[in-house]
Structure 1
Amino acid sequence: MSGEDRGTYAVAVVLAALAGCVDAFGFITLGGFFVSFMSGNTTRMGVSATEGEWHPALVGASIVTLFVLGVVVGSLVGDRVGLRRRSAVLGLTAVLLTVAVAGSAVESTQIVIAALALAMGAENTVFDRGSGSSISLTYMTGTLVRLGRGVATALTGGARWEWLRFAGLWLGLLAGVGIGTGVHRLVGLAGLWVAVGVAAALAAGFARRPGVGFSAAST
């Protein structure tokens, strides 16, 4: 892995941790729904609808819709600015996370969750190259499949350590969940300022070096 690719990978791990942190806030706030893990929301939505529990089904459907809308907006913003995609999308993510903090200040759970879901959808477009190729940041099923394939490859004489890249992304998400849970326990939703700071710092960093590391977007 080149130095440029290592830099991109390190940012991806940080963004996975950011997603885990934000998801912990959303999960705790809603008591079992996610703002970044849409497979879990889809399962809960389907089970609730089948059992006639329409309120949780509607909650799940709303979050999924907002997440997809976040992807749409992030993609449009990123495609419009070209090489400044990463800075622009991360800036958008920081703004949406700030809206979530503002929502908590006025005690509006709806605003908080809507903004968090939009932010996580947008974050997933940071590494997008316009062809659907991107690094998985807020969901880990595909990453764990690649980890397993990498282990199998190593056991059969292939690349010995390739699987560690995917393990690192998963561990980043897990660490973020732990951090988010701990911060929420200490200061509540005001702890989302930590997530705002991380997104804003990354946006500023990429603003100084636009277009760096795009070769690694197929990780």
Structure 2
Amino acid sequence: MDYAEGVNARERILVTPSERDDLALAVGLLALAGFVDAVGFLLLGGLFVSFMSGNSTQFAIQTGQMSWSGAAPAGAIIAAFVAGVVVGRLIANAAGAWRRPALLALEAACLGLVPGLPAPPLASGFLMALAMGAQNGILHSAGRTTTGLTYVTGSLVKFGEALADALSGAGPASAPLPYLSLWLGIVAGGVTGAAAYGAFGLSALALPALAAALLAAATAWAKTAL
């Protein structure tokens, strides 16, 4: 067995049930983020609640054009997202091994409040961005597949690199698939979110809120079953 074959064999062995479970959770969370981001984008007229690169570009453009009324909403959503990351990190540190159900419960609560909230769209966007920021503390990697949980730019880069390695024989043919599944997750969530918002308006957020609550219960059950 040559070196490349040895690496491929070791990588196949290292795909454990725990890694597969983490990858499935990551895909599910990205689908949830895609759903919420699509709803947020349509609600806010072109701002994202999970994709902060897009908001940062809009903030920069509006600031460069000295359009403060255009820059302020983008900046506010970015601030809400960062606040969610901070809150999520603090909760994760306090909850320790129970961070997943704790953060998923927080996310479910934030998203569940939005449909009944008598507030302007930007205030609803704050809660959605807060939930998406907190979501990033749930899972930092799925086995050996590193991923963000509200964006897939890095996953697409990893997919391209893994595909190049697979085509050249430097890596296993299956290596690109986890990254492709992450991208498909957020796209599927976005398609579903856009359709649901068109049909039900903000009430569509009841679906990701329920999904987050069920994931909180499932991860808590998995913890007690260990």
Q: Answer whether contact 1:67 1:121 (CA < 8 A) is retained.
A: yes
Distance in 2 of aligned mates of 1:208 and 1:176: 25
Q: Confirm whether residue 87 of structure 1 aligns to residue 87 of structure 2.
A: no
Shift of 1:102: 2.5
Which amino acid is the alignment partner of residue 164 of structure 2?
A: A
Segments ≥4 residues shifted beyond 6 Å: none
Seen in structure 2, the aligned counterparts of structure 1 residues 20 and 138 have a Cα distance that, compared at 3 Å, is same
Q: Gapped runs of 5+ residues in structure 2?
A: 1-14
Distance in 1 of aligned mates of 2:45 and 2:87: 27
2:163 to 129, 141, 151: 151
Which amino acid is the alignment partner of residue 174 of structure 1?
A: V
1:198 to 184, 205, 211: 211
Name the SS for the 2:116 alignment partner. Answer: helix
* 2:132 alignment counterpart: 120
Q: Answer whether contact 1:84 1:211 (CA < 8 A) is retained.
A: no
Distance in 1 of aligned mates of 2:110 and 2:104: 10
Q: Answer whether contact 1:18 1:195 (CA < 8 A) is retained.
A: yes
* 1:141 alignment counterpart: 153
Post-superposition Cα deviations, 1:37-84, rounded to whole Å, max 9, x if no partner, equal 000000011001101111121111111111011000011101111110
Post-superposition Cα deviations, 1:83-124, rounded to whole Å, max 9, x if no partner, equal 101000101111111222232xx2431321110000000011
* 2:6 alignment counterpart: none
Q: Answer whether contact 2:80 2:129 (CA < 8 A) is retained.
A: yes
Shift of 1:2: 1.1
Which amino acid is the alignment partner of residue 29 of structure 1?
A: L
1:59 to 52, 57, 73: 73
Q: Gapped runs of 5+ residues in structure 1?
A: 214-219
Greater Rg, structure 1 or structure 2?
Answer: 2
* 1:45 alignment counterpart: 59
Q: Answer whether contact 2:77 2:126 (CA < 8 A) is retained.
A: yes
Q: Answer whether contact 1:127 1:134 (CA < 8 A) is retained.
A: no
Superposition map of 1:207-218 within 5 A: 207-210=220-223
* 1:7 alignment counterpart: 21
Distance in 2 of aligned mates of 1:212 and 1:143: 31
Q: Confirm whether residue 178 of structure 1 aligns to residue 173 of structure 2.
A: no
How many residue pairs match? The answer is: 208
Which amino acid is the alignment partner of residue 178 of structure 1?
A: V
Q: Answer whether contact 1:34 1:41 (CA < 8 A) is retained.
A: yes
Name the SS for the 1:138 alignment partner. Answer: coil
Identity of aligned residues (%): 39
Q: Answer whether contact 1:147 1:163 (CA < 8 A) is retained.
A: yes
Q: TM-score, normalised by structure 2?
A: 0.88
Seen in structure 2, the aligned counterparts of structure 1 residues 146 and 134 have a Cα distance that, compared at 3 Å, is closer
